[in-house]
Amino acid sequence: MDSPPNELMSTLSEYLSLDPLSCYSLPPEAYTDLALYTLELDAIFRKEWLCVGRAEYIPTRGDYYCIDILDESLLVVHGQDGVIRALSNICRHRFMPVVQGSGNTKRFVCPYHAWTYETDGSLYAAPFMKGSSVPFVACQATGSKPGVDFCLLIWMMMRRHSSIKCRQQISAS
């Protein structure tokens, strides 16, 4: 990864010493520099808990809504097991979006070949795959990411396995 140009980083670091009332905006390059954007994605958005909605959006088991974060199509679901989680919204079979919008369901069915997933992301059924040479075990999960309902908001982290405790981190902020 290329680091942002030294001149831009130097300009941004100067802002730290300014009176907050005199800082109305960052330099235009801070909004358009691809290297800085990549740095922010890697240093912040891929490592920190992100608020992805309100718990009231999915109050009942089976409720879900779709959201795109960091160029990844996700669905946030209140699982049949009572757990809130974010799943990849892309079918592992032919990479088709599984659902759109929001709603309530017992299971998610891909419109392409009717592969069916439970609300925990596990594969429930794969029609027409009996006797196939495709390793069935390779298609077992849709990429579950941790989701936490805290203070009536839903938080998730783009990293699949995180040792950071959401409640501790948010409470400390």
75-119 confidence digits (pLDDT tens) = 999 999 998 888 889 888 888 899 999 999 999 999 988 989 999
pLDDT range class, residue 139, cuts 50, 70, 90: very low
Q: Which domains does the chain carry?
A: 6-45 (no CATH), 50-172 (2.102.10.10)
pTM score, two decimals? Answer: 0.70
16-26 confidence digits (pLDDT tens) = 888 877 777 77
142-171 confidence digits (pLDDT tens) = 445 555 555 678 888 776 544 444 444 444
DSSP track, 55-106: GGGS-STTEEEEEEETTEEEEEEE-TTS-EEEEE-B-TTT--B---SEEE-S
Q: From CA 93, how far away is CA 41, in angstroms rounded?
A: 28
**H helix or E strand, kind and range, residue 10:** helix 6-15
> Between the CA of residue 83 and those of 33, 55, 62, 64, 77, what are the distances in Å?
39, 12, 10, 12, 8
Q: From CA 170, how far away is CA 126, in angstroms rounded?
A: 40
Q: From CA 100, how far away is CA 59, in angstroms rounded?
A: 18
